């Protein structure tokens, strides 16, 4: 989250390394090689390097990709939960791979994978905060991998937040529908899977130094 806030606070169009101002010489022309056409310097920063290397993102924004991935993840989660509630709830589990993988309908009042059932309202607030942060970050999103990762996070957060709001026992206290039950592991759903996959991808991108605006930094 700190990485996202750092990018949110970065200016859209950073100034050149020299402060973003040119000093005119005695004749009123920019300092530099005499007779140089100002148009010839277009597309370069004050350091003489291309703008892309000076930190300005290239390409187009990936907001459409973010929301497309989020909509896909959310739709899969919502449809799967509707089927589970209609066909599996109050029925014996369905064995998919023997005892190793089953489909079993369970209502979970806690966080992902059944943790923290006493903090349902807090987890609801965290999910809402994640959605707000992603929405703020979208205006500076130029990286395709980041768009996919944030889309998975957004779709998963919306999927579980829908359960928190609309399912029993009440608004913001609803129990999430889980149904994927591996052997010796917690029961989870597709929204949990999307959140975990998005989180892993964000960690990998951060290790590579790739920022959401498409630039690469080195610590």
Q: Is 15 a catalytic residue?
A: no
Q: Contact at 8 Å (CB) between 97 and 181? A: no
The SS3 assignment for 211 reads coil
Across the chain, where does the E strand assignment appear? Answer: 94-97, 101-108, 176-182
Kindly tell me the number of DSSP H helices and DSSP E strands found in the chain.
Answer: 5, 3
From the list 54, 87, 65, 75, the residue with the least C-alpha distance to 146 is: 65
Measured CA distances, 153 to 94, 130, 131 (Å):
28, 8, 8
Q: Enumerate the H helices of the chain as residue ranges.
A: 2-8, 63-87, 120-137, 144-166, 190-208
- Hey, is 106 helix, strand or coil? strand
* Residue 178 annotated as catalytic: yes
Tokens 């998975």, residue located: 152
Of the residues 12, 15, 25, 192, only one is catalytic, namely 192
Of the candidates 17, 16, 41, 15, the one whose C-alpha atom is nearest the C-alpha of residue 30 is 41
Catalytic residue, candidates 77, 178, 211, 213: 178
Asked if residue 86 lies in contact with residue 152, where contact means CB atoms within 8 angstroms, the answer is no
Let me know: does 112 contact 192? Beta carbons within 8 Å: yes
**Residues with a known catalytic role:** 178, 192
């Amino acid at each position: 989250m700190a990485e996202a806030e750092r990018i949110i606070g970065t200016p859209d169009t950073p100034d050149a390394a020299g402060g973003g101002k040119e000093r005119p010489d005695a004749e009123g022309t920019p300092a530099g090689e005499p007779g140089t056409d100002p148009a010839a310097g277009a597309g370069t920063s004050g350091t003489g390097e291309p703008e892309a290397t000076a930190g300005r993102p290239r390409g187009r924004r990936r907001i459409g990709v973010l929301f497309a991935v989020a909509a896909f993840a959310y739709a899969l989660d919502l449809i799967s939960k509707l089927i589970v509630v209609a066909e599996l709830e109050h029925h014996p589990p369905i064995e998919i791979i023997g005892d190793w993988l089953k489909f079993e309908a369970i209502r979970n009042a806690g966080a992902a994978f059944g943790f923290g059932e006493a903090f349902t309202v807090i987890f609801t607030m965290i999910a809402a905060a994640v959605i707000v942060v992603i929405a703020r970050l979208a205006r500076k999103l130029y990286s395709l991998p980041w768009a996919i990762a944030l889309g998975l996070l957004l779709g998963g957060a919306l999927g579980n937040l829908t359960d928190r709001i609309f399912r029993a026992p009440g608004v913001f206290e609803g129990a999430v529908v889980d149904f994927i039950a591996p052997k010796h592991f917690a029961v989870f759903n597709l929204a949990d899977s999307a959140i975990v996959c998005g989180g892993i991808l964000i960690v990998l991108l951060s290790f590579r130094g790739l920022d959401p605006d498409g630039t690469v930094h080195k610590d």
